């Protein structure tokens, strides 16, 4: 065997190794992406479950949340805090899912489900009033999204009232 043949064979072996390595790394990245999406989804789901468990197991919290006040003024100071913290927790989780959707780390169905629930929550005047008091504490993109939902609801209320 001459040196040219040995050099060509070495280049072929090296190129094959590079292709196999790239294929392996591609597979690893895909598996990691699936794992990250699963963990993100699970984390958000766990947070929502914890909120639901807290409501279901605390009679006072259940009473306040199920009362669905038309205005925060209808609630005592203590109940207003309870109601506000539940809403804050829910909207923080929704904000996380909103960004996870944009990053592609959660299933779009997860966001669609929370989007529908957010719209239902925001149909309540009490929730819209609450939002006005806390919106500054949310990320600008999420705030803009929720403000858009509130505007749609307000516009449909105005249209129905005329």
Query: d(Cα 101, Cα 108) in Å, to the nearest integer?
Result: 6
Domain boundaries, the chain: 43-161
For residue 110, name the pLDDT band (cuts at 50, 70, 90): confident
Identify the pLDDT of residue 141.
94
Q: What is the DSSP letter of 107?
A: -
At residue 107, does pLDDT exceed 60? yes
Identify the pLDDT of residue 88.
92
At residue 39, does pLDDT exceed 70? no
Query: Of all helices (H) and strands (E), which one includes residue 117?
Result: helix 108-122
Tokens of 141: 């993109």
Global confidence as pTM: 0.71
pLDDT tens string 2-16: 888 777 788 888 888
Identify the pLDDT of residue 18.
81
pLDDT tens string 143-159: 999 999 999 998 887 77
Q: What Å distances lie between residue 105 and 40, 42, 109, CA to CA?
A: 6, 11, 12
At residue 79, does pLDDT exceed 70? yes
């Amino acid at each position: 065997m001459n040196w040219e043949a040995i050099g060509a064979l070495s280049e072929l072996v090296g190129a094959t190794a590079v292709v196999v390595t790239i294929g392996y790394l591609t597979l690893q990245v895909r598996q990691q992406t699936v794992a990250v999406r699963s963990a993100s989804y699970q984390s958000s789901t766990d947070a929502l479950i914890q909120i639901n468990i807290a409501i279901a197991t605390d009679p006072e919290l259940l009473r306040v949340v199920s009362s669905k006040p038309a205005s925060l003024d209808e609630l005592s100071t203590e109940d207003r805090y309870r109601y506000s913290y539940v809403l804050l927790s829910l909207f923080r989780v929704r904000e996380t899912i909103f960004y996870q959707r944009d990053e592609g780390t959660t299933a779009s169905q997860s966001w669609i489900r929370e989007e529908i629930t957010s719209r239902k929550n925001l149909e309540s005047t009490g929730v819209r009033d609450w939002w006005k008091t806390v919106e500054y504490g949310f990320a600008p993109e999420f705030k803009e999204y929720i403000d858009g939902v509130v505007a749609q609801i307000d516009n449909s209320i105005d249209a129905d009232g005329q």
